Amino acid sequence: MHRTRVRVVEDALDANNTIAQANRADFDRASTRVVNFMSAPGAGKTSLLERVLPELAGIRVGVLEGDVQGSMDADRLASLHVPVTQLNTDAGFGGECHLDANMVRSALPSLPLDEIDLLVIENVGNLVCPAEFRVGEDVRVMVCSVAEGEDKPLKYPLMFRTCELVLISKIDLLPHLEFDVDKLLYNLDAVHPGVERMLVSARTGEGIGEWRDWLAAVVDRVEAPA
């Protein structure tokens, strides 16, 4: 029984990877670079996008917004006058806590890829499942807020291990929290040694310029930044 379960999981991931490759081929044909943007619920992904997207001058940005239900985040981003497509997992996908390659593929006809240089896929807030499913992205960015505690890389190592960049968000709250940034960075290096990291605040704008430049580099490079 245990071997059968493992086989089913492997088959599901293999099928997902095949569709992810098809997505990636479509993105490459359109010369669209793709960021899979992940975090726990409430880490501040949408706020960070609201802050950084207006600063990406000369880069045509689109957003694929993933949520179980509702369009609140998509509505916020649409006010920036960028193309936003809502992808809910409750209808047709069983309320999944992540986006997989097939879900993303179902949304591609709604995305004007030929008019998008950088597509940000804002994944469903979850620290487990999104890390397991490639969707055809070039890079993965993980957001970890200081309100979550320093132990998150140790408790959810796969999420941190599969990312090219970790944004440590809400640093404006540090004076009000018992949070040790050095301890978080130590734990981060324990699971993903040397992964790029930035301290950011959507509220104050700290670190946003550095992140803007990183995103611009994703668009400029043939391969994703190391």
Taking the C-alpha atoms of residue 56 and residue 66, their distance in angstroms, rounded to an integer, is 22
Q: Which domain holds residue 153?
A: 2-220
Q: What total number of domains does the chain contain?
A: 1
pLDDT greater than 90 at residue 105: yes
pLDDT for the residue numbered 222: 54
Do 208 and 44 meet the contact criterion of CB atoms below 8 Å apart?
no
Assess if residue 178 is contained within a domain.
yes
Q: Please state which of the ranges 64-78, 82-96, 134-148, 204-218 shows the lowest mean pLDDT.
A: 82-96
Q: For residue 34, what are the β-bridge partners? A: 119
pLDDT greater than 80 at residue 76: yes
Mapped onto helix, strand or coil, the DSSP state of residue 184 is: helix
Q: For residue 121, what are the β-bridge partners? A: 36, 64
pLDDT in tens, 17-35: 999 999 999 999 999 999 9
Provide the CA 23 distance to its chain's centre, in angstroms: 16
Q: Output the six-digit token pair for 159.
A: 């999420």
One-letter amino acid for residue 98 of the chain: H
Q: Output the six-digit token pair for 187.
A: 């734990």
Q: Please state which of the ranges 60-69, 92-101, 204-213 shows the lowest mean pLDDT.
A: 92-101
Q: For residue 200, what are the β-bridge partners? A: none
Instruction: State the CATH number of the domain containing residue 16.
Output: 3.40.50.300
Assess if residue 225 is contained within a domain.
no
